[in-house]
Protein backbone atom coordinates (compact mmCIF):
# COMPACT_ATOMS: atom_id res chain seq x y z
CA UNK A 1 0.00 0.00 0.00
CA UNK A 2 1.38 3.38 -0.99
CA UNK A 3 1.03 5.97 1.75
CA UNK A 4 2.93 9.01 2.92
CA UNK A 5 3.79 9.27 6.61
CA UNK A 6 3.75 12.88 7.74
CA UNK A 7 3.24 14.86 10.96
CA UNK A 8 -0.40 15.15 12.02
CA UNK A 9 -1.90 18.62 12.17
CA UNK A 10 -5.14 20.26 13.20
CA UNK A 11 -6.28 20.06 9.57
CA UNK A 12 -6.47 16.27 10.07
CA UNK A 13 -8.87 16.46 13.03
CA UNK A 14 -12.06 15.55 11.14
CA UNK A 15 -10.49 12.46 9.57
CA UNK A 16 -8.89 11.44 12.86
CA UNK A 17 -12.25 11.67 14.64
CA UNK A 18 -13.76 9.38 11.98
CA UNK A 19 -10.85 6.95 12.30
CA UNK A 20 -11.08 6.97 16.10
CA UNK A 21 -14.79 6.16 15.97
CA UNK A 22 -14.25 3.39 13.42
CA UNK A 23 -11.42 1.80 15.39
CA UNK A 24 -12.35 2.41 19.02
CA UNK A 25 -16.13 2.93 19.15
CA UNK A 26 -17.34 4.21 22.52
CA UNK A 27 -13.74 4.52 23.72
CA UNK A 28 -12.75 6.89 20.89
CA UNK A 29 -11.04 10.13 21.77
CA UNK A 30 -13.06 13.33 21.49
CA UNK A 31 -12.19 16.21 19.16
CA UNK A 32 -10.66 18.11 22.09
CA UNK A 33 -8.57 15.11 23.15
CA UNK A 34 -7.25 14.61 19.61
CA UNK A 35 -6.41 18.30 19.22
CA UNK A 36 -4.67 18.39 22.61
CA UNK A 37 -2.63 15.31 21.76
CA UNK A 38 -1.47 16.32 18.29
CA UNK A 39 -0.49 19.83 19.40
CA UNK A 40 0.86 19.01 22.85
CA UNK A 41 4.50 19.24 23.88
CA UNK A 42 6.81 16.22 23.89
CA UNK A 43 4.64 14.39 21.37
CA UNK A 44 5.06 13.12 17.84
CA UNK A 45 1.89 12.26 15.93
CA UNK A 46 2.02 10.86 12.42
CA UNK A 47 -0.67 10.18 9.85
CA UNK A 48 -0.53 7.69 7.01
CA UNK A 49 -2.08 9.46 4.05
CA UNK A 50 -3.18 7.81 0.78
CA UNK A 51 -2.45 9.57 -2.52
CA UNK A 52 -6.06 10.83 -2.61
CA UNK A 53 -5.59 12.59 0.75
CA UNK A 54 -7.48 10.05 2.86
CA UNK A 55 -5.94 9.37 6.26
CA UNK A 56 -5.75 5.59 6.56
CA UNK A 57 -3.99 5.46 9.90
CA UNK A 58 -2.32 7.45 12.61
CA UNK A 59 -0.31 7.05 15.74
CA UNK A 60 1.33 9.08 18.43
CA UNK A 61 4.05 8.87 21.01
CA UNK A 62 4.61 10.92 24.16
CA UNK A 63 8.27 11.31 25.04
CA UNK A 64 9.54 11.85 28.57
CA UNK A 65 13.16 12.08 29.68
CA UNK A 66 14.13 8.45 29.08
CA UNK A 67 10.80 6.70 28.51
CA UNK A 68 8.14 7.11 25.85
CA UNK A 69 4.58 5.88 25.58
CA UNK A 70 2.70 4.98 22.43
CA UNK A 71 -0.52 6.88 23.04
CA UNK A 72 -2.50 5.48 20.13
CA UNK A 73 -2.15 3.53 16.92
CA UNK A 74 -5.12 3.20 14.59
CA UNK A 75 -5.51 1.81 11.07
CA UNK A 76 -8.70 2.02 9.02
CA UNK A 77 -10.47 -1.32 8.73
CA UNK A 78 -10.11 -1.38 4.94
CA UNK A 79 -6.34 -0.82 5.19
CA UNK A 80 -5.52 -3.49 7.77
CA UNK A 81 -3.27 -6.44 7.05
CA UNK A 82 -1.11 -4.50 4.59
CA UNK A 83 1.74 -3.46 6.88
CA UNK A 84 0.48 0.05 7.63
CA UNK A 85 0.35 -0.48 11.39
CA UNK A 86 3.96 -1.69 11.30
CA UNK A 87 5.05 1.35 9.26
CA UNK A 88 3.47 3.69 11.79
CA UNK A 89 4.85 1.78 14.78
CA UNK A 90 8.37 1.69 13.34
CA UNK A 91 8.21 5.43 12.62
CA UNK A 92 7.07 6.20 16.19
CA UNK A 93 9.83 4.02 17.62
CA UNK A 94 12.33 5.85 15.39
CA UNK A 95 11.07 9.19 16.76
CA UNK A 96 11.63 7.93 20.31
CA UNK A 97 15.07 6.54 19.48
CA UNK A 98 16.09 9.84 17.85
CA UNK A 99 15.07 11.66 21.05
CA UNK A 100 17.39 9.43 23.09
CA UNK A 101 14.58 7.45 24.71
CA UNK A 102 15.61 4.21 26.43
CA UNK A 103 12.27 2.40 26.48
CA UNK A 104 8.84 2.60 24.87
CA UNK A 105 5.72 1.56 26.76
CA UNK A 106 2.14 1.00 25.64
CA UNK A 107 -1.18 -0.45 26.71
CA UNK A 108 -3.24 -2.69 24.45
CA UNK A 109 -6.60 -4.32 25.07
CA UNK A 110 -6.15 -7.98 25.97
CA UNK A 111 -8.59 -9.05 23.24
CA UNK A 112 -6.88 -7.21 20.34
CA UNK A 113 -4.86 -10.19 19.10
CA UNK A 114 -3.67 -8.60 15.82
CA UNK A 115 -2.33 -5.55 17.68
CA UNK A 116 -0.69 -7.72 20.34
CA UNK A 117 0.95 -9.75 17.56
CA UNK A 118 2.22 -6.56 15.93
CA UNK A 119 3.78 -5.34 19.15
CA UNK A 120 5.35 -8.70 19.96
CA UNK A 121 6.83 -8.91 16.45
CA UNK A 122 8.38 -5.45 16.97
CA UNK A 123 10.14 -6.67 20.12
CA UNK A 124 7.74 -5.51 22.83
CA UNK A 125 7.31 -7.76 25.84
CA UNK A 126 4.28 -8.08 28.08
CA UNK A 127 5.22 -6.68 31.51
CA UNK A 128 1.89 -6.23 33.28
CA UNK A 129 -1.86 -5.97 33.28
CA UNK A 130 -4.14 -3.02 33.96
CA UNK A 131 -7.56 -4.23 35.04
CA UNK A 132 -10.60 -2.29 33.75
CA UNK A 133 -8.25 0.09 31.89
CA UNK A 134 -10.51 0.93 28.96
CA UNK A 135 -13.67 2.83 29.76
CA UNK A 136 -16.57 2.55 29.47
CA UNK A 137 -16.12 -1.09 28.38
CA UNK A 138 -14.03 -2.12 31.39
CA UNK A 139 -11.66 -4.17 29.18
CA UNK A 140 -8.29 -5.04 30.65
CA UNK A 141 -5.04 -3.94 29.01
CA UNK A 142 -1.66 -5.56 28.68
CA UNK A 143 1.22 -3.24 29.56
CA UNK A 144 4.02 -3.78 27.06
CA UNK A 145 7.62 -2.54 26.97
CA UNK A 146 10.31 -2.23 24.33
CA UNK A 147 13.91 -1.55 25.40
CA UNK A 148 15.74 0.64 22.89
CA UNK A 149 19.37 0.81 21.90
CA UNK A 150 20.99 3.89 20.42
CA UNK A 151 21.62 2.02 17.16
CA UNK A 152 18.56 0.58 15.38
CA UNK A 153 20.80 -2.06 13.77
CA UNK A 154 21.65 -3.51 17.18
CA UNK A 155 19.19 -6.21 18.25
CA UNK A 156 16.93 -5.35 21.18
- Span 109-133, pLDDT tens digits: 999 999 999 999 999 999 999 999 9
In a domain? residue 104:
yes
What's the confidence (pLDDT) of residue 87? Answer: 97
To the query of whether residue 58 is one of the catalytic residues in this protein, the response is: no
In a domain? residue 41:
yes
Q: Report the alpha-carbon distance of residue 67 to residue 147 in Å, rounded.
A: 9
Domains of the chain: total: 1
CATH of the domain at 128: 3.40.630.30
**Active-site pick, 45, 119, 133, 134:** 119
In a domain? residue 153:
no
Sequence-ordered list of residues with C-beta below 8 angstroms from that of 8, at least 6 positions apart, any chain? 16, 38, 45, 46, 47, 58, 60
In a domain? residue 155:
no
> What does pTM read for this prediction?
0.92
- Give residue 30's domain range: 4-147
In a domain? residue 63:
yes
| pLDDT tens digits for range 66-95 | 899 999 999 999 999 999 999 999 999 999
Percent of the chain predicted with pLDDT > 70: 96
To the query of whether residue 119 is one of the catalytic residues in this protein, the response is: yes
Using pLDDT thresholds of 50, 70 and 90, give the confidence band for residue 37.
Answer: very high
Q: Report the alpha-carbon distance of residue 107 to residue 134 in Å, rounded.
A: 10
In a domain? residue 109:
yes
**Active-site pick, 45, 58, 107, 134:** 107
Amino acid sequence: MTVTLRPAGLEDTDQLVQLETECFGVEAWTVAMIEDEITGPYRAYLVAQAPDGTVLGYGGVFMGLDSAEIMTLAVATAARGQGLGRQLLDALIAEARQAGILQVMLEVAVDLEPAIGLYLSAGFENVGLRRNYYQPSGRDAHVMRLALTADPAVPR
